[in-house]
């Protein structure tokens, strides 16, 4: 399961049935309306929606509202998962890059929404002409997370990177945006833990400050992540985004890393 697709898919704006530009008042109104629609004894569900589906939706609604009703959380969410100016369709290909670079454009169809549950196992997102097993395809599809793919063409790189990075970060950029894969002498662990991230970060000579500046994740969170001090971290969707970003920066197999660490995260939180 591709965790990134999974994340992008759980679009809180869609859950709340509002536009990404919606005001707080619109969000609240829509939330209240949906609470009624999916509430106890709602006639509109009769014979079509089962209780389990209803409850699933209600919990999603609560999470979505919790995030979007808080300006700070909403901003982080927008930056990490939902960027209207950068994304062309739901699968999030940077518009300019996709036009310039892709020889075979990814046909992105978002989804036919019916009742799918973003926390369930199956992926509804499909991109028929894309082979997700190849690294290139992944970087195309997940362009929002991956500036390194644009670094292949220097022109594109100079266009896109300054919007994110400050001059101080030049050295980091070079370190992080090389096209080379992870050196083979690095032995990958079977199951990823926070300490492994630290280990690989240090092996590649990236300081926590550099990582923080580049990913825009606060140092506090990065420390907490590496030391698996999960209680200091925000809600799961954010953590998932953090792990993915960090792992991709470090050229780690980010799907595996994210899955493993999120499993540890949810276990710890539950206990």
Partner 1 sequence: MTETNSEFFQTENDTKEAIEDTSGDDFLHKLNFSAHSRIKQIWAIGGGKGGVGKSLISSNLALSLARQGNKVIAVDLDLGGANLHTSLGIDLPKVTLSDFFSNRVPNLNDCITTTSIPNLGIISGAQDAIGITNLSSNQKAKLLSKVKEIDADYLIFDLGAGTNFHTLDFFILADVGIFSILPEPTSIENGYRFIKSTYYRKLWLNPRLRKIRPLVEAAMDPKNNQDIKTPSDLFKAVNRLHPDMGVALKEEIEKIQPKLILNQIRTQMDVEIGFSIKSVCKKYFGIDVDYVGYLDYDSSVWQTIRRKRPLLLEFPNSRVSTSIERITNYILKRYGHVKNIFL
Looking only at residues 9 through 28 of this chain, which bind partner 1 when binding is defined by CB under 8 A? 17
CA distance 70 to 67: 6
CA distance 114 to 233: 32
Pick the closer one to partner 1 by CB: 52 or 72. 52
Select the span of 42-50, 134-142, 147-155, 253-261 touching partner 1 (CB under 8 A): 42-50
CA distance 82 to 74: 10
CB of 234 to partner 1, least distance (A): 27
Cβ-Cβ contacts under 8 Å for 205 (sequence gap 6 or more): 175
Phi and psi for 92 in degrees, rounded to 5?
65, 65
Pick the closer one to partner 1 by CB: 90 or 186. 90
Specify the DSSP class assigned to residue 87.
Answer: B
User: Which token pair is 5?
Assistant: 């697709």
236 touches partner 1 by CB under 8 A:
no
Pick the closer one to partner 1 by CB: 39 or 162. 39
Contact 160, 147 (CB under 8 A): yes
137 touches partner 1 by CB under 8 A:
no
CA distance 131 to 195: 32
126 touches partner 1 by CB under 8 A:
yes
271 touches partner 1 by CB under 8 A:
no
In the list 25, 40, 48, 131, the residue contacting partner 1 (rule: CB under 8 A) is 48
Binding to partner 1 by CB under 8 A, coded x per residue (else -) over 82-121, reads -------------------------x-x-xxxxxx-----
Specify the DSSP class assigned to residue 181.
Answer: P
208 touches partner 1 by CB under 8 A:
no
46 touches partner 1 by CB under 8 A:
yes
72 touches partner 1 by CB under 8 A:
no
The Cα-based distances of 155 to 102, 150, 161, 257 in angstroms read 15, 9, 10, 31
* Site residues for partner 1 per CB under 8 A: 17, 33-34, 36-38, 42-49, 57, 107, 109, 111-116, 122, 124, 126, 128
């Amino acid at each position: 399961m591709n965790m990134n697709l999974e994340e992008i898919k759980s679009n809180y704006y869609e859950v709340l049935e509002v536009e990404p530009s919606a005001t707080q008042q619109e969000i609240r109104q829509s939330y209240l309306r949906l609470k009624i629609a999916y509430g106890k004894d709602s006639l509109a569900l009769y014979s079509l929606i089962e209780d389990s589906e209803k409850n699933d939706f209600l919990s999603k609604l609560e999470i979505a509202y919790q995030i979007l009703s808080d300006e700070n959380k909403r901003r982080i969410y927008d930056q990490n998962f939902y960027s209207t100016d950068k994304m062309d369709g739901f699968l999030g290909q940077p518009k300019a890059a996709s036009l310039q670079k892709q020889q075979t454009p990814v046909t992105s169809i978002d989804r036919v929404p019916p009742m799918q549950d973003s926390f369930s196992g199956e992926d509804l997102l499909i991109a028929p002409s894309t082979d997700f097993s190849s690294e290139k395809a992944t970087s195309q599809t997940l362009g929002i997370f991956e500036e390194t793919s644009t670094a292949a063409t220097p022109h594109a790189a100079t266009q896109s990177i300054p919007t994110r990075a400050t001059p101080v970060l030049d050295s980091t950029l070079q370190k992080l945006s090389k096209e080379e894969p992870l050196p083979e002498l690095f032995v990958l662990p079977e199951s990823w833990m926070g300490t492994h991230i630290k280990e690989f970060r240090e092996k590649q000579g990236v300081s926590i400050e550099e990582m923080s500046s580049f990913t825009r994740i606060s140092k506090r969170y990065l420390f907490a992540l590496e030391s698996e001090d999960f209680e200091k971290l925000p809600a799961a969707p954010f953590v998932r985004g953090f792990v993915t970003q960090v792992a991709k920066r470090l050229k780690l197999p980010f799907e595996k890393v994210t899955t493993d660490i999120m499993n540890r995260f949810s276990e710890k939180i539950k206990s």
